[in-house]
């Protein structure tokens, strides 16, 4: 029995993967992953094929010497470059405290033009810049009326995170089975000319209520826990603390591809926010 991407593959299923590849010599990796999902009845909660997880699983099977995939047809991707345009130029300073503003309104990013605009803002003003996200994800603009205040994105959680995993209390099998129920706040940008005291924690309180419903509508299930990383001493995590997130520890700074024991990345605080009171029992099923 082998386990890949949260799914167990027995000898018969591994043989079926090899036979599928042999019977479809002209199929590329994407086509094979979709066919395998149907063959193995591997679907997302919303009914869609779990083809990205399947593709990763097949790559790991190949790395373990169990199958041989056709050569990749993808060219190496270059990191997208965004030239700043007038659309993201600085606007007049806003210094009113949050209680003097209208309630913030979250709008999901939809359409190519809005997607590119969101990416340009992040590339131009976020200290980490823009990085494409893979898998399930959701991006937002935050407005007061028609005035843009902030931008956020949420996506896949970290695969392994010792302080988080101790806080939850789950075992390896439970983590692999239920990791999708944790969503990572990958980017949170208050635009530089927006200097409204208390705004960041107010936005977090709104997203904590809204995103689970949006995620359910798009992906067919509700997440039960948020996570995020705050690079110290660049930031202190004050807004997360004010929004009742919990600091559970620090990252090691080694990164998932590091082979040694010395930090190669900035150490970050790990903050969590339970979206359900019974989150532990839901994650440790």
pLDDT tens-digit readout, 193-242: 999 999 999 999 999 999 999 999 999 999 999 999 999 878 889 999 99
Contact 123, 218 (CB under 8 A): no
Q: Is the confidence at residue 270, as pLDDT, over 80? A: yes
Q: Taking 80 as the threshold, does the pLDDT of residue 6 lie above it? A: no
CA neighbor of 190 nearest in space, from 142, 156, 261, 157 = 142
**b (16+ CB within 10 A) / e for 220-231:** eebbbbbbbbbe
Does pLDDT of 263 surpass 70? no
pLDDT at 262 over 60: no
Report the pLDDT averaged over residues 182-195.
Answer: 97
The two most distant CA atoms of the chain are separated, in Å, by 66
| CA pair distance 137, 126, nearest whole angstrom | 18
What are the chain's domains?
Answer: 2-63 (no CATH), 86-283 (3.40.630.30)
């Amino acid at each position: 029995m082998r386990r890949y991407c949260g799914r167990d593959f027995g000898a018969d299923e591994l043989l079926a993967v090899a036979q599928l590849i042999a019977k479809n010599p002209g199929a590329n990796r994407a086509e094979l992953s979709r066919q395998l999902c149907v063959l193995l009845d591997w679907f997302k909660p919303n009914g869609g094929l779990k083809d990205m997880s399947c593709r990763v699983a097949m790559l790991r099977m190949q790395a373990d010497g169990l199958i041989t995939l056709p050569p990749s047809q993808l060219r190496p991707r270059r990191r997208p470059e965004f030239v700043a345009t007038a659309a993201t130029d600085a606007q007049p300073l806003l210094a009113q405290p949050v209680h003097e503003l209208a309630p913030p309104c979250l709008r999901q990013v939809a359409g190519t033009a809005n997607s590119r605009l969101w990416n340009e803002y992040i590339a131009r003003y976020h200290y980490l810049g823009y990085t494409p996200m893979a898998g399930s994800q959701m991006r937002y603009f935050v407005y007061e009326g028609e005035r843009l205040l902030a931008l956020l994105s949420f996506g896949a959680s970290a695969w392994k995170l010792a302080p988080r995993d101790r806080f939850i209390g789950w075992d390896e099998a439970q983590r692999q089975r239920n990791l999708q129920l944790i969503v990572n706040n990958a980017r949170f940008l208050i635009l530089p000319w927006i200097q409204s005291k208390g705004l960041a924690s107010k936005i977090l309180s709104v997203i904590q209520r809204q995103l689970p419903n949006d995620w359910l509508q798009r992906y067919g299930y509700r997440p039960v826990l948020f996570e995020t990383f705050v690079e110290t001493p660049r930031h202190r995590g004050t807004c997360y603390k004010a929004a009742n997130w919990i600091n559970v520890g620090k990252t090691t700074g080694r990164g998932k591809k590091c082979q040694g024991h010395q930090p190669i990345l900035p150490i970050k605080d790990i903050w969590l926010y339970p979206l359900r009171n019974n989150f532990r029992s839901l994650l440790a099923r």
